[in-house]
Amino acid sequence: MSENISRRTFFKRSTAAGALGVLMATGLGKTAKAQDTNSTKNIGSVIDLTKCDGCQNEPIPLCVSACETDSKSHFPEPQKPLKPYWPQKFFEDWSEKRNIKNRLTPYNWTFVDKVTVEHNGQREEISVPRRCMHCDNPTCQKLCPFSAIDKKPSGAVSIDPDVCFGGAKCRDVCPWQIPQRQAGVGLYMKLAPDLAGGGVMFKCDMCSDLLAAGKQPACQTACPKGAIKFGPKVEIKKYAYERAKEVNGYVYGDKENGGTSTFYISKVPFEKIHQAIINDKKANKDDKPGRPGMPVGVENYLDSTNGLFLSALIAPIAGAAAAGFTAYRTLKGEKKDE
Amino acid sequence: MSNKGEKILRQSRSNRFVHWGAAVSIFLLIITGLGQLPLYKRYNVTNIPGAEWLGSFFTTLDLHYIGAAGLLFVVFYHLVYHLVRKEFDIMPRKGDMKESYFIIKAMLTKGKEPDSDKYLAEQRIAYLFIGVNVLLLVFSGLIKVIKNVPDVVLPSGVVFWATQIHNLATVLLIFGLVGHFAAFLIKENRKLIPGMFTGYVDKEYVKHRHSLWYARIKEEKETSKPAKINLSHSQKVVGH
């Protein structure tokens, strides 16, 4: 597969190379590396909307129930009574609503969205399994103020429930607002639960325990249609584009947020699916996170910080140079430093 | 008094630039850095008219980078400038803890303070405390900046500890700054304030509070040829 390097990719890589250069100089270079999304260790997944029917004959889609079975041991068991996030009057509690399976919650890390879209003069029922996209440069992981989120060598983005303070910043900076919060659990309960913190954020961790054991994530194993497939990302990506070509369709997730490890395939343009989700949410007066849209080409904020990154790296050199120059002149007596 | 109104240059233009450059960038960094915690929305700060922007993680992060570039410039300027000129007046000396105790005791009991050099012992300690925290913030901050570069993967342990150090040093720096401002609650210390604006302080003040420094300046003036090059520009007695 030929790879076209866009200007943006070139700039991204140059900046990454510059950053690694700095690390080499500081001795940290040995431990840092540029992300190799072509490594076979890097896991990607395909979600084929031409195959998924949302398990029409099942009360709950099988990927959703399998996810619950596998993740149950990680579900939060909050200490009650829960307290509002002072001075706010609310708190986020899903512990009594564990049976909600039509959106993302701390107790439901994947769900199948269902929308009707008109395409080529036909009304199509589309089922869209949703969960964390496991971004290549996850804004949640990079911007977590406590570094509670890890990007594993597999590419899985995983939240450490022992470090998470539940501020929900990860949800705010995620283009899909994926992580969901449960109050009454986590580190903040041991510190100042009345004043700070909000619980722990939960989301799909790509079944890291199963992957580590050489098995496939639960949603793939449970899917009766073969609509979900995990594998080496480089192969998955190739397959996704081939399959999209085959069905004369589209891929979602390759470019979004600067690249993710999830590739949706659809015959219907994702712009239409996105609009249908937004419209349906509006109609249902649902403005809460947990039912994300599919904004096409959504950008990664971190791509825009490259210029600022360079100025932060040049500043110490410029400061040292200015000092050397000024000190030299004053020592020589050319200039008085008053 | 014959020399009433005479002034002594205490803070060179370079020092004033470093002090105010650091002050402005640190102020911006604290405001925008707290904005990286989900704090302003939660505690209703964003409800204050004009403060809505504090609720945007991306706006505050952009400004945090700008503040960081400013502080990095100033910190490296400061270090190189004084290393080249071999000026270490503000570095803590042996016995400074004990001396600080005597100075504070004298201030409280209105007793006699020990003789001081250009900086009081507690000023030297305060400088070290703030300086070490700023350096911790600068280096952990640089790691955090590099971590944010797309496609760079740092080991999670390095990122985790850089974050914890950055957060802890922020708290300590805020304590340090509170101490810095609290120092001006004491009347005696307020005589130093003009030094950071105009560069000059009252000669009388120097004479009685920084007698060791005053003696050095006098000696240099008398020998006309300064003993140490670094003193020739930073200390000068002028008529007002």
Q: H/E/C letters for each residue in chain B?
A: CCCCCCEEECCCHHHHHHHHHHHHHHHHHHHHHHCCCCCCCCCCHHHCCCCHHHHCHHHHHHHHHHHHHHHHHHHHHHHHHHHHHCCCCCCCCCCHHHHHHHHHHHHHHCCCCCCCCCCCHHHHHHHHHHHHHHHHHHHHHHHHHHHHCCCEECCHHHHHHHHHHHHHHHHHHHHHHHHHHHHHHCHHHHHHHHHHHCCEEEHHHHHHHCHHHHHHHHHHHHHCCCCCCCHHHHCCEECC
Lowest-confidence region among A47-51, A110-114, A148-152, A323-327: A323-327
**Comparison of pLDDT for B98 and A319, the residue scoring more:** A319
Which residue's entry shows tokens 């869209």? A128
Residue A311 lies in a domain: no
**pLDDT higher than 70, residue B234:** no
Q: Cβ contact (<8 Å) for B151 and A136?
A: yes
B14 touches chain A (CB under 8 A): yes
Residue B63 lies in a domain: yes
- Reported as a single tens digit per residue, the pLDDT across A89-139 is 999 999 999 999 999 999 999 999 999 999 988 999 999 999 999 999 999
Residue B120 lies in a domain: yes
**pLDDT higher than 70, residue B198:** yes
Query: What stretches of chain A adopt beta strand conformation (E)?
Result: 33-34, 43-48, 111-119, 122-130, 149-151, 157-159, 180-182, 200-202, 228-232, 250-252, 262-266
Residue B150 belongs to domain spanning: 13-191
- How far apart CA B143 and CA A338 sit, in angstroms, is 36
Residue B156 lies in a domain: yes
Which residue's entry shows tokens 């971004």? A135
Q: In this predicted structure, what is the pLDDT of residue B229?
A: 40
**pLDDT higher than 80, residue B46:** yes
What would the mean pLDDT of B177-195 be, rounded to a whole number?
A: 88
By the 10 Å C-beta count (0-12 exposed, 13-18 middle, 19+ buried), B178 is classed as exposed
CATH number at B50 reads 1.20.950.20
**pLDDT higher than 60, residue B225:** no
What would the mean pLDDT of A75-95 be, rounded to a whole number?
A: 94
Q: In this predicted structure, what is the pLDDT of residue B230?
A: 43
Average pLDDT, chain A: 89
- Reported as a single tens digit per residue, the pLDDT across A135-155 is 999 999 999 999 999 999 899
> Max Cα separation, chain A?
89
Residue B207 lies in a domain: no
**pLDDT higher than 70, residue A5:** no
CATH number at A150 reads 3.30.70.20
B199 touches chain A (CB under 8 A): yes
Residue B181 lies in a domain: yes
- How far apart CA A19 and CA A183 sit, in angstroms, is 38
Q: What is the number of structural domains in chain A?
A: 1
**pLDDT higher than 70, residue B155:** yes
B48 touches chain A (CB under 8 A): no
Q: Considering only CB atoms, which chain B residues are within 8 Å of A33?
A: 153
Mind telling me how many Å the CA of A119 is from chain B's nearest CA?
A: 36
Q: In this predicted structure, what is the pLDDT of residue A45?
A: 96
What would the mean pLDDT of B39-48 be, rounded to a whole number?
A: 93
Residue A289 lies in a domain: yes
Mind telling me how many Å the CA of A125 is from chain B's nearest CA?
A: 37
- Reported as a single tens digit per residue, the pLDDT across A11-20 is 565 666 666 6
Lowest-confidence region among A21-30, A268-277, B132-141: A21-30
- ipTM for the whole complex: 0.85
- How far apart CA B230 and CA B118 sit, in angstroms, is 13
Residue A6 lies in a domain: no
Residue B218 lies in a domain: no
Quickly state the pLDDT bin for A310 (edges 50, 70, 90): confident
Q: Considering only CB atoms, which chain A residues are within 8 Å of B229?
A: 331
Centroid of chain to Cα B133: 11
Q: In this predicted structure, what is the pLDDT of residue A25?
A: 59
DSSP string, A27-85: T-TTT-EE--TTSTT-EEEEEETTT----TTSSS-HHHHHHHHHHGGGS----SS----
Residue A190 belongs to domain spanning: 36-305
Q: In this predicted structure, what is the pLDDT of residue A328?
A: 82
- Reported as a single tens digit per residue, the pLDDT across A193-239 is 989 999 999 999 999 989 888 899 999 999 999 999 999 999 999 99
Residue B123 lies in a domain: yes
Average pLDDT, chain B: 85
Q: Considering only CB atoms, which chain A residues are within 8 Å of B152?
A: 16, 19-20, 32, 34-35
Mind telling me how many Å the CA of A178 is from chain B's nearest CA?
A: 17
**pLDDT higher than 50, residue B239:** no
**Comparison of pLDDT for A305 and B198, the residue scoring more:** B198
Residue B5 lies in a domain: no
Q: What is the number of structural domains in chain B?
A: 1
**pLDDT higher than 50, residue B226:** no
DSSP string, A238-272: HHHHHHHHHTT-EEESSSGGG-BSEEEEESS-HHH
**pLDDT higher than 60, residue B30:** yes
Residue A314 lies in a domain: no
By the 10 Å C-beta count (0-12 exposed, 13-18 middle, 19+ buried), A60 is classed as middle
**pLDDT higher than 70, residue A7:** no
- The HSE-up count of residue B101 (CA atoms within 13 Å, CB side) is 3
**pLDDT higher than 70, residue A334:** no
Q: In this predicted structure, what is the pLDDT of residue A2?
A: 40
Q: In this predicted structure, what is the pLDDT of residue B235?
A: 47
Q: Cβ contact (<8 Å) for A316 and B167?
A: no
Q: Considering only CB atoms, which chain A residues are within 8 Å of B42?
A: 85, 87-88, 167
Q: Cβ contact (<8 Å) for A328 and B163?
A: no
